[in-house]
Every structure is written in C-alpha cells, then in structure tokens.
Amino acid sequence: MTDLLTPVLCENWGTEKSWKLSAYLLSGGFSAAKKALKLAPADVVGIVKDAGLRGRGGAGFPTGLKWSFVPQDNPNPKYLVVNADESEPGTCKDMPLLLASPHTLLEGIVISSYAINCHTAFVYVRGEVVHVARRLQAAVAELHEAGWLGKNIQGSGFDLDIVIHSGAGAYICGEETALLDSLEGRRGQPRLRPPFPAVAGLYASPTVINNVESISTVPSIIKNGAEWFAGMGTEKSNGFTFYSLSGHVKRPGQFEAPLGITFRQLLELSGGMRDSHELKFWTPGGSSTPILTPEHLDVPLDYEGMASVGSMLGTKAMQVFDETTSVVRTTLRWSEFYKHESCGKCTPCREGTWWLVQLLRRLEAGEGQEGDVDKLLAVTEDINGLSFCALAGGAVACVTSAVRHFRPEFELGYTTPAWESFPYERSAVFIKDRPDGQSEGGRV
C-alpha cells in the first residue's frame, strides 16, 4: 500500500542550495536523462504513455499521447514549450518547485525534447516572480557549462538549447495557444483550433506545451519506470502530484501525494482549520473549478472523483475558507480577477465578466435588487460554453457553484452588505513573526 504522502519532486527541496546543479546531481539528478539519451526517442514517448501521466496544468490531457501527436515527418523544427505561467488563483506549486529545484524541470526538458526531437525548448515563466527567472537562467547556464545543453550533449549527438522567457502579467497566457502567441511577441490571445499546436504551434511548427509539473515528473518516470508511476494513484488517475492548501487552515503548504487522496486527509495533515473555526467552502483545483463544501470532504481528489461531484481536479489547489468568510465577497473577487484577466477577444467573456462583477458588487454592498441572483445565473448561462476559450468557463464556475451551495447568502445581498453579515476583519489572518525572522507555523 502506498504511503499517504509520496515526496518525489520535492524530495530534494530541503537540501543545501538545492537549486544548484551540484546539489541536484548529489541527489541523483540527471541519471534519468542519461538513461533516456540511450533509448530511442519513441521508446521514451512510450514509457511516458505507459505511465499514464496526465497534464498537471489543469486539463489533465495524457502527456505521452500529446507527444505522440507531433508529426515527425513535418520538415519544420519541433518545439517544446514549458508552461510556467502559473497564475490560476490558489495555484502555487510550480513557483516553489522552480525556486527550489529548477534542474528537475530542466532535466525533464532534456528528456522530453529528446523524445519529440526538439532542439530549442522554451520555458515561459510568469514575469511577476523575478527570483524564479534568476534561478532558471542560472540553472541553464550551469547546464551549458556542464555539457548538458548546447551541441552534442553528453556526447549523445543530441543538440538542445533552452530559452527562459519571462512573461509580463497575463493569466490568459496559461492557455496554451495564448501562450504561443505571447511567446511570438504578440498579445496573448487564444488561437483558433485546429490547427492544434502539435501540428502548427510556435512559428506554425509542431509544438508540445506542457506544464512545469508534468515535465518535472518525467525524469522520475524514466528513472523508476512506467509501472512504478502507474502503481501510484487510482485507476484512471495515475501517479503522484502536488496538492496545494491555502487559506484558513492551520498550516498551509504543499503536499505531494498519490492521486486520489481526499481533502479530509489533506486537511488533517495541514492541522485542520484554524482554531475555533470550521470549514465553509473550498476549491479543489483553483478558482476555475466549482467550489465544494464540507459534504465533499471524502471525495477522492482525482479526475474522476471531482467530476462525480460536478467539479474538476484542475491544478489541485485547495483554497480553504472558514465560516467567517462571505461567499459573495469571495465570488466577487474571483469574478473581478476574471474580468481583469479576460483577454477581450470574445464577447461572452469580455462583456459577461463586466456584467457579473457589477451584479456581484451590488450584492456585496447589500444593494442587490430582487431577481439579481437569477439574473446572475442567467448571465452565466449566456457565457458558459459560448466563449472562445476555457477562461470564461472558469469565470462562471465559481459563480454558479457558489450560488448553488449558498443561494440564501446571495439573496441576503438584497438587503444587507456582506461586510455586515461577515465582518471582513474576522476573516483576516495576520501572523506574527518569530524572533528568528521566520513566520510562525500556527495561526490565530
């Protein structure tokens, strides 16, 4: 039986200067890449396929299958683009991984590039985290020095360069085709599909776009085998992944566990809710996944489990809110996020979020009018499924699920401001510093 937590990617995060190549090599780094370079590229694809690794960026598309779509007879160069534009509210796993162990990703890139015959790979990293860019850039330089990048890496005959590309503030660039447009120096707006990136992506060439965590998982699969990976998790959701807990829990943080762990188990590991407070609602995978309530504590956190309760696994980012929290306020703030991040390309998202925010604002202020909650739902219906990309779907998911679970609280907005029903200062958690400058683990 597999243990409740299975640290693999984070295993070396606590080591001295874990971000350095020397430290990474000491913890067994690049043994997987060495192994992969001796295999035929198609065999590497095969192993990842057999492992059943599914994309960890939210959509859960099988990674090996994605790779196998790259037409190798296409005369254009093939590209690998790593999506490190982590911006989904609640999601906070890729940035710590890249800070602590950028080489895990880079080793994954070496292997994945080899598998798809790519000689220039890009890491599109969100711009608002300078230190991550610094560490990635330095790590790439170390690899060039060490002969793991450049021409004929490690004498394998395989050439590879990695470009670290900093974004500039746009959630939508997490959408893979918007990311490609952005990487081409354009406005990050999603592209029509088809053609799919695997056929005509970056510079209209075959391109694979994978999340940081997906590519970072590849070395462990190559090193330990597909069976090892598939041996963890549930029937259709193989392997381990990061679960991120934030919000009103005693100890927020990252948990690397096999797929299928439950929220109850994770909540226990994080010490439960802050003292004298109880769980009100939570997101399973970022703000784009429909919110859940205490009744969903025991649903397995895998693709199928979440689908069974009308939500999604998403990025496995659990934002946890206790009973002090106004769900109207929270929903409004998510809607404001989507309005702020809507790229503007399509009508439902651009105009719909404009409307939703105004409706929610008056409900928050207790100035809602009779029928506003139904109107809110009606507007979501005019957005949902009709937009160009999935962003708008996320924008309405939080609204519809919140109304589904907490309709009376929204209707309270016809008469009473949310800050009166739920005084906002009661939700705030400011923790004191310990004398050593570190934050206290426990919370008020």
Partner 1 sequence: MSGKEFQTYFPHSGRIDEANTSTEIDEKTIAELEEIVARYPQPRSAVLPMLHLVQSVDGRVSPRGLEVIAELAGITPAQVSGVATFYTMYRKHPAGKHHIGICVTALCAVMGGDILYDKVSEHLGVGDGETTADGSFSLERIECNAACDFAPVMMVNWEFLDNMTPEKATQILDDLAVGRPVKPNRGATLTSFKENERVLAGFNDGRADEGVSAGEPSLLGLSIAKERGWAAPKPGAAPKEEAPEAKEGSGK
Partner 2 sequence: MSDIVASDLVTLTIDGIEVSVPKGTTIIRAAESIGIAIPRFCDHPLLDPRGSCRQCLVEIPDAGNGRGFPVPQTSCTMPVAPGMVVQTAASSEKAKRAQNGIMELLLINHPLDCPICDKGGECPLQNQALLAGRGESRFDAKKRRFPKPTSINGQLLLDRERCVLCARCTRFAQEIADDPYIALVERGALQQVGRVGEGPLRSYYLGNVVQICPVGAFTAKSYRFESRPFDLVSTDTTCEHCASGCSLRVDRRHGTVRRRLAGNNPSVNEEWNCDKGRFCFVYGRGADRLTHPLIRENGSLRPASWPEALAAAAAGLSKAEKSVGVLTGGRLTTENAYAYSKFARAVLGTNSIDFRSRPFSVEETDFLAAEVAGKEVGVSYGDLENASQVVLVGIEPEDESPMILLRLIKAVRKRGLKVVLVDFINTYGSKKLKARWIQCRPGEEAKALAQVELDEKSVILVGERAALSAGTLSAVAKLSAEAGASWAWIPRRAGDFGAVQAGCLPNVLPGGRPVTQSAARVDVAAAWEVDSLPGEIGLDAAAILAAAAEGDLAALVTAGIDPRDFADSHIARAALEQAFVVSLEPRLSQAASLADVVLPVALIEEQSGSFLNWEGRQSVVNQVVKGSVPSDLRVLSALADELGSPLGLKDAAAAAAELGELGVWEGSRAALSAVGEKQPGEGLILGSWRELFDAGSGADGEESLQTESFYPTAVMNPKTAAGHGFENGDRLVVSGPRGSITVPLLVYPDIVEDVIWASFNARGLPSHGEIGVVIGEPVNVGKEEAKV
CA angle 143, 149, 154 (to 5 degrees): 95
**192 touches partner 2 by CB under 8 A:** yes
**C-beta separation of 72 from 83 below 8 A:** no
**C-beta separation of 93 from 286 below 8 A:** no
Cα(245)–Cα(90) distance, integer angstroms: 8
Q: Which two tokens stand for residue 123?
A: 């890491």
Chain positions 295 to 324 lying near partner 1, rule: CB under 8 A, are 298, 300, 302, 304-305, 317, 319, 321
Measured from the CB atom, the residue of 36 and 68 that comes closer to partner 1 is: 36
> Which position has the token pair 């219906």?
381
Residue 126 contact, options partner 1, partner 2, none, Cβ 5-8 Å cut-off depending on partner type: partner 1
Cα(346)–Cα(288) distance, integer angstroms: 18
Q: Which of 231, 272, 294, 366 is close enough to bind partner 1 by CB under 8 A? A: 231
Q: Which of 28, 71, 385, 441 is close enough to bind partner 2 by CB under 8 A? A: 385
Q: Find the part of the chain contacting partner 2 (CB under 8 A) among 35-43, 113-121, 199-207, 352-360.
A: 352-360
**92 touches partner 1 by CB under 8 A:** yes
Q: Which of 39, 59, 65, 138 is close enough to bind partner 1 by CB under 8 A? A: 138
Measured from the CB atom, the residue of 4 and 40 that comes closer to partner 1 is: 4
Query: What is the DSSP code string of 186-227?
Result: S---PPPSSSPHHHH-GGGS-EEEEEHHHHHHHHHHHHH-HH
Cα(131)–Cα(96) distance, integer angstroms: 10
**99 touches partner 1 by CB under 8 A:** yes
Task: Give the per-residue contact string, 200-219, with partner 1 (x = CB under 8 A; - = no).
Answer: ---x----------------
Cα(61)–Cα(55) distance, integer angstroms: 5
In a 13 Å sphere around the CA of 402, the CA atoms on its Cβ side amount to: 31
Chain positions 271 to 290 lying near partner 1, rule: CB under 8 A, are 287
Minimum CB distance to partner 2, residue 120 (Å): 24
Q: Which of 27, 35, 59, 96 is close enough to bind partner 1 by CB under 8 A? A: 96
Chain positions 363 to 422 lying near partner 1, rule: CB under 8 A, are 364, 417-419
Measured from the CB atom, the residue of 1 and 192 that comes closer to partner 2 is: 192
* Torsion angles phi and psi, residue 354, rounded to 5: -60, -40
73 three-state secondary structure: coil
Q: Which residues bind partner 2 (CB under 8 A)?
A: 170, 187, 192, 339-348, 350-355, 358-359, 362, 369, 375, 378, 381-383, 385-388
